Amino acid sequence: MLKSFAVNFLVSKYPVNYILATSILSNYNKKTFSEEDLDEIFNRYKEEKAKPFVKWVGGKRQLLKQFKKLELYPPEEIGFDSSKNTYFEPFVGGGAVFLDTLPEKAILSDMNEELVITYNVIKTNLKKLIFKLKIHKKNNSKEYFLKIRSQQINKLSNISIAARFIYLNRTCFNGMYRVNKSGGFNVPYGKYDNPLIVDEDNLKKISKSLQKVKILHQDYKKTIEKAKKGDFIYFDPPYAPLNPTSSFTAYTKDGFGEQQQIELRDTFYKLHKKGCFVMLSNSNSEFINKIYGELENKDKKIKITEVDANRMINSKASGRGKIKEVLVTNY
């Protein structure tokens, strides 16, 4: 079968989306594929598949099956060509959506400097990072955790910053990343029996996935400045709180309040008018439904879709569970 039919075959038979199927087949210099070829190609991809290296509050890994089932990614037949156009993810976090699509051209960014440094170290200096992580694993204890947590990152090398970032994330309470107003990491020790500090195999897979990708430390407005018609932008900002006491926006020392959410909404619409494909995640709050509902009323292409998620941030287990989130798209 021709490549276009092969893409459809992969999407219909396996848990892959159109963007990922196209990316997988781009690695093969063939014009036609048999079903046996495609089964073998998918099995090879499955062995090489990477997952997020960091536990991240609000991570999208749990939602990826819904994204495919509800057809929430832009399919190529409406204009997004992953071999020609660029994928932008300005609030990259754990990068679950990037790893679920693996577009051929991608620009990732985040305002969390330590996270961006870690991505780039994984990309360019993996052996030294793994060596450092093995030292952290050997010495892991509450006392050691507090010692590493108290380090000033401006006195560390990028490799040490990356190893510290992964170690703290893997051993801290509930896998949270939270900083105080001074920018210092302030999550307590998690007391896990055997935390996965050195996930060497997965880190190698991520490093391979990042080789042609730009990972930048800058805000979303700067990141999408060069986005053009046909590009695909996914926004996953700090969520608007469901109520006044549920806010969790401390991924950086600067918050992300209502004014910032409105500015992001306006950016969403500007990209839409430019001809970009835009997807945005946020809380199913009254405020978010109101500001994006205004866009939905203005333009029939803009849709708000509810998806199911698990609330994991709460000091009490009874406060965790199933909730609704929203995904806003313009296609």
User: Are residue 70 and residue 134 in the same domain, yes or no?
Assistant: no
User: Are residue 68 and residue 135 in the same domain, yes or no?
Assistant: no
Q: Is residue 240 assigned to a domain?
A: yes
User: Are residue 237 and residue 323 in the same domain, yes or no?
Assistant: yes
User: Are residue 94 and residue 119 in the same domain, yes or no?
Assistant: no
| First-to-final CA distance of the chain | 28
Q: What are phi and psi of 115, to 5 degrees?
A: -65, -45
User: Are residue 234 and residue 301 in the same domain, yes or no?
Assistant: yes
User: Are residue 106 and residue 119 in the same domain, yes or no?
Assistant: no
User: Are residue 241 and residue 180 in the same domain, yes or no?
Assistant: no
What's 314's domain CATH number?
3.40.50.150
User: Are residue 101 and residue 225 in the same domain, yes or no?
Assistant: yes
User: Are residue 231 and residue 325 in the same domain, yes or no?
Assistant: yes
pTM above 0.75, yes or no: yes
State the 10-residue block means of pLDDT for the chain, 331 residues long. 93 94 92 96 96 86 92 82 92 96 96 96 98 98 97 96 97 82 85 94 98 97 96 95 60 74 98 97 96 96 94 50 92 94
Q: Is residue 52 assigned to a domain?
A: no
At residue 312, the pLDDT reads 58
Give the tens place of pLDDT for each residue, 304-314.
999 999 865 54
Q: How many domains does the chain have?
A: 3
Q: Is residue 212 assigned to a domain?
A: no
What's 189's domain CATH number?
1.10.1020.10
User: Are residue 69 and residue 153 in the same domain, yes or no?
Assistant: no
Q: Is residue 143 assigned to a domain?
A: yes
Alpha-carbon span 272 to 279, nearest angstrom: 10
Q: Is residue 156 assigned to a domain?
A: yes
Q: Is residue 53 assigned to a domain?
A: no
Alpha-carbon span 102 to 292, nearest angstrom: 28
User: Are residue 131 and residue 107 in the same domain, yes or no?
Assistant: no
Q: Is residue 66 assigned to a domain?
A: yes
- Integer CA distances (angstroms), 12 to 89, 103, 282, 307, in order: 26, 19, 28, 21
User: Are residue 308 and residue 222 in the same domain, yes or no?
Assistant: yes
User: Which residues are CB-contacts of 310 (< 8 A; sequence separation ≥ 6)?
Assistant: 62, 320, 321, 322, 323
At residue 64, the pLDDT reads 94
| Domain with 144 in it | 115-205
Q: Contact 123/211 with Cβ under 8 angstroms?
A: yes
